[in-house]
């Protein structure tokens, strides 16, 4: 196996390394954005287990921990109603499962019956999808694992589930989260990928190295999961801000971050097109003058980095706008490449990218386009 890797083409090995590095960076970013909610959930699980064991006297308070984790999860967009819905759903499922096991035992048809009863009851009581889902899941677990019923006797598993849900509700109420924090972190993760893609492209253009340009393309393509996370995170936060009084004051910033997520996705797509076009030009044997366009790509990368820093901190991206506008003003194809239509095509692609980045920085679309030299 190691021999096969060592015999692989250099370009393949470089691309694999770039892809792995991108996955590691994005994984770290996801961990950073979820670290605090996971820590809260871990503390809640420990408290629920302690109450089940030392207060209720249950030797194995399994469903106290399951309920606490199911209600809290790793997401920062928690609200009291959602957690309460999950807590009641879990407790309902466990109670119905316990009742079925004690009345008619466990088996294939009992499993079907308990799901039918739990899901139907949950749908009658509440319209929430998660409420019904959790009720059905927990009822199935109870019927499928009857041996755990030794913990607490009677309806011990139900009381454990109720304790876990109550602890989750307490944690949610006592430790309100800032909905902007995870979305800001996601925005920074995306801008890091875009900056890295542009920086690699600039190096490839300056040195006329096809492998560098290929690395930029690999990194740009590998950024899609981070872009999807940002768009979904922003959309969820905006939706919660509409209904949560505690989050309503952040609607303007969350809306701006959501719009920036859409524009950043568009900018990354334009960057990928730019990189693919650049690859054919770098590979061309003709003597293209690429120094000027490489400098502009570097300037756009610096402006994007400033934009990411501003979004991460919640500051107004004044510096980013200045740097991006300065780079946009240089995108005159007849100045950067007066006699080379192929390089001029790169300048035209960069103009679209610059407008997307300026709009992501909060510049009015008309003003962003006005910042470009006239053709």
Alpha-carbon distance 92 to 109, whole Å? 20
Percent of the chain with pLDDT over 90: 24
Indicate whether 222 pLDDT > 50.
yes
Query: How much is the pLDDT for 322?
Result: 94
Query: How much is the pLDDT for 4?
Result: 42
Contact between 172 and 246 under an 8 Å Cβ cutoff? The reply is no
State whether residue 211 is helix, strand or coil.
helix
Which segments of the chain are extended strands (E)? none
Q: Which two tokens stand for residue 243?
A: 């209904």
* Confidence band, pLDDT 50/70/90 cuts, at residue 226: confident
The stretch 151-180 carries a mean pLDDT of 75
Q: Where are the domains of the chain?
A: 34-174, 180-370
Indicate whether 275 pLDDT > 80.
yes
Which of 9-23, 27-41, 151-165 is most confident? 27-41
Query: How much is the pLDDT for 240?
Result: 67
Report the predicted TM-score, pTM, of the whole model to 2 decimal places. Answer: 0.68
38 burial level (CB within 10 Å; 0-12, 13-18, 19+):
middle
State pLDDT tens for residues 187-216: 898 999 999 999 999 999 998 888 888 889
Q: Where on the phi/psi map is residue 362: left (φ > 0), alpha (ψ -120 to 50), or beta?
A: left
* Confidence band, pLDDT 50/70/90 cuts, at residue 2: very low
State pLDDT tens for residues 65-107: 888 888 777 776 666 667 777 777 777 777 777 777 777 766 6
Long-range contacts of 366-375 (CB under 8 A, 24+ apart): 368/328, 371/325, 371/328, 371/329, 372/328, 372/329, 372/331, 373/329, 373/330, 373/331, 373/332, 373/335, 375/333
Query: How much is the pLDDT for 152?
Result: 54
Query: How much is the pLDDT for 321?
Result: 94
State pLDDT tens for residues 331-373: 999 888 888 888 899 999 999 999 999 999 999 999 999 999 9
Q: Report the CATH architecture of 180-370.
A: Up-down Bundle (1.20)
Query: How much is the pLDDT for 72?
Result: 79
Average pLDDT, the chain: 81
Indicate whether 236 pLDDT > 80.
no
């Amino acid at each position: 196996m190691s021999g096969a890797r060592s015999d692989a083409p250099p370009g393949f090995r470089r691309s694999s390394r770039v892809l792995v590095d991108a996955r590691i960076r994005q994984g770290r970013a996801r961990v950073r954005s979820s670290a605090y909610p996971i820590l809260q959930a871990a503390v809640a699980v420990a408290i629920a287990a302690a109450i089940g064991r030392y207060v209720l006297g249950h030797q194995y308070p399994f469903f106290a921990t399951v309920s606490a984790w199911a209600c809290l999860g790793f997401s920062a967009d928690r609200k009291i109603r959602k957690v309460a819905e999950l807590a009641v759903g879990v407790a309902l499922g466990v109670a119905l499962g316990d009742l079925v096991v004690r009345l008619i035992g466990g088996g294939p048809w009992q499993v079907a019956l308990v799901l039918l009863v739990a899901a139907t009851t949950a749908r009658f009581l509440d319209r929430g999808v998660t409420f019904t889902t959790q009720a059905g899941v927990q009822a199935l677990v109870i019927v499928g694992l009857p041996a755990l019923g030794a913990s607490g006797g009677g309806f011990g598993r139900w009381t454990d589930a109720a304790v876990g849900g109550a602890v989750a509700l307490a944690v949610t109420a006592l430790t309100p989260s800032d909905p902007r924090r995870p979305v800001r972190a996601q925005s920074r993760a995306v801008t890091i990928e875009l900056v890295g893609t542009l920086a690699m492209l600039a190096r490839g253009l300056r040195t006329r190295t096809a492998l560098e340009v290929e690395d930029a393309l690999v990194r740009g393509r590998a950024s899609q999961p981070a872009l999807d996370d940002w768009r979904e995170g922003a959309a969820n936060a905006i939706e919660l801000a509409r209904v949560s009084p505690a989050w309503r004051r952040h609607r303007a910033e969350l809306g701006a971050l959501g719009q920036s997520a859409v524009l950043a996705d568009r900018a990354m797509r334009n960057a990928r097109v730019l990189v693919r076009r650049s690859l054919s030009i770098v590979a061309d044997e003709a003597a293209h003058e690429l120094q000027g366009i490489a400098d502009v790509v570097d300037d756009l990368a610096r402006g994007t980095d400033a934009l990411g820093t501003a979004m991460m901190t919640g500051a107004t991206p004044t510096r980013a706008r200045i740097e991006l506008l300065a780079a946009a003003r240089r995108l005159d194809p007849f100045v950067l490449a007066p006699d080379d239509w192929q390089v001029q095509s790169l300048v035209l692609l960069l103009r679209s990218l610059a407008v997307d980045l300026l709009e992501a920085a909060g510049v009015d679309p008309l003003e962003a386009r006005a910042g470009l030299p006239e053709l």
